[in-house]
Amino acid sequence: MMPRTPLTPEFIASLTSLLGDRFTTSLPVRDHHGRDESIFPAMPPDAVAFARSTEDIVQIVDACRHHGVPIVPYGAGSSLEGHTLAAEGGLCLNVQQMDQIIAIDADDQTATVQPGVTREALNAHLRDTGLFFPVDPGADASLGGMCATRASGTNAVRYGTMRENVVNLTVITADGQTIKTGRRARKSAAGYDLTRLFVGSEGTLGVIAEATVRLYPLPEAIMAAVCAFPDINAAVASVVQIIQLGVPVARCEFVDAVAIRALNAYSNTGLPEVPHLFFEFHGSDAGLREQIELVQSITEDHGAAQFEWASTPEARSKLWKARHTIYFAASQLRPGARSVVTDVCVPISQLAECVWETSQDLQREGIIAPIVGHVGDGNFHVQMLVDADVPAEVAQAEQLNARLVARALAMDGTCTGEHGIGLHKQGFLVDELGSASVEVMRQIKHALDPGNIMNPGKVFAF
């Protein structure tokens, strides 16, 4: 994929007149927006626009459509699958300055935000309301980006993913219309579910200008703990049993021995270098006691060590901060290496086998690659550290990735639980759903964006 045509002076003039210095073709700014955490080479856009309002987006989309310029929406830039790379050049539409929290409806437990609001900013704003927004993909992602990639994370096992937690969206379509995908009622049977169509569409159907999301009452009590296991199977089998018994754990994270080693080196956590589960429990005092007793008895049956509690808010926050730094901590295991990150999700009955076979495969190949995951959902990640300058290493990692996806698909799982398709997994999407299903997606894309200006080159070939 290549940039289509250079930006015309007319396009540049129209965007400059619209946005002033919030439109730029400066090389450093373009470069900054053309890189991400993925293994892909940099793909800088031809220009970058900083929107401040829905009306800005409408005008930018109109200009881009008129001039046939691709639009790549950009939130926090934390995608792992190349979503924000300008695969066909064009304009990067940065929404970071659209960072207003428009409304908190405490009685209805909803928040309406601009797309550049990050999940941490939203939760900081909610601090005194007794409410919180649960979806937590690790990175301090923007809400717009989280909607676009159907993000999830550590809390999804209890609170669901963005699929369940977006109430409605305001979207600018390719033809410049501003549409509302739903109202603020908790449920609706009114027409096609446009909200869910745009959630996970990765910017290919329109630009998200506003989102209303669900909030939840802060639980009466919260407890968190880590628990060490003799081996991978013991840890994963415990999770499977916890989920099958319907224990409403709020977080249930698997962290393998390699990841623990990375954490210890990076965060000085001093944990035994064996597989762990990190838990969080939400509920009333009595409910918490019940959950914890049940989970402890299950983990003990699988030979786990005693729980190490993080009972104060500070200790809890330190624990989850450590969990979220694994990605960066792991990168330090091999200085200078790049990460090939992948994630799959399988039915819970297949999880133990899938994780085990994957760990064996990684060991055979001798690649440093921590396995961590939101295992309560059947979802786990592999972060393979490679020397990006050695093609054989990159190829080896891609082969491991392909085998992992094939393994997950053979178990009726998905090629990505939460990272999305982006540039990386387009072939796997066809393997997963078949070409007829992808053709239906393509028909929708052609209908809604006939000029292919919305994040072209992502999810599937136009």
CB of 191 to a copy of itself, least distance (A): 5
Closest to a copy of itself by CB, 14 or 342: 342
DSSP assignment string, 374-443: -GGGTEEEEEEEE-TT-HHHHHHHHHHHHHHHHHHHHTT-BS-SSS--TTT-HHHHHHHH-HHHHHHHHH
Angular region, 458: left φ>0, alpha ψ -120 to 50, beta rest: beta
Please list, residue by residue across 141-155, b when 16 or more beta carbons sit within 10 angstroms of its beta carbon and e when fewer do. bbbbbbbbbbbbbbb
Of 40 and 266, which CB lies nearer to a copy of itself in the complex structure? 40
Least distance (Å) between residue 359 CB and a copy of itself: 19
Closer by beta carbon to a copy of itself, 301 or else 412: 412
The CB density around residue 421, as the number of other CB atoms within 10 Å, is 25
Decide whether 95 or 408 has the Cβ nearer to a copy of itself: 408
CB of 423 vs a copy of itself, minimal distance in Å = 13
Give the separation between CA 395 and CA 58, rounded to whole angstroms.
42
- Closest separation between CB of residue 320 and a copy of itself, Å? 20
In degrees, to the nearest 5, what angle opens at C-alpha 456 toward C-alphas 99 and 201? Answer: 55
Q: Count of H helices and E strands in the chain?
A: 17, 18
Nearest to a copy of itself of 243, 259 (CB atom): 243
Residue 73: both structure tokens together: 């929406």
Q: How far is the CB of 399 from a copy of itself (least distance, A)?
A: 20
- Give the nearest distance from C-beta 86 to a copy of itself in angstroms: 21
Cβ 386 vs Cβ 338: under 8 Å: yes
- Give whichever of 197 and 394 is closer to a copy of itself, judged by the CB atom: 197
Check the CA dihedral 160-164-168-172 and report its sign.
Answer: positive
Residue 288 Cβ, how far from a copy of itself at the closest point, in Å? 11
Q: Please list, in sequence order, all residues whose beta carbon lies within 8 angstroms of the beta carbon of residue 208, skipping any fewer than 6 positions away.
A: 73, 115, 144, 147, 148, 169, 170, 171, 198
Give whichever of 91 and 351 is closer to a copy of itself, judged by the CB atom. Answer: 351
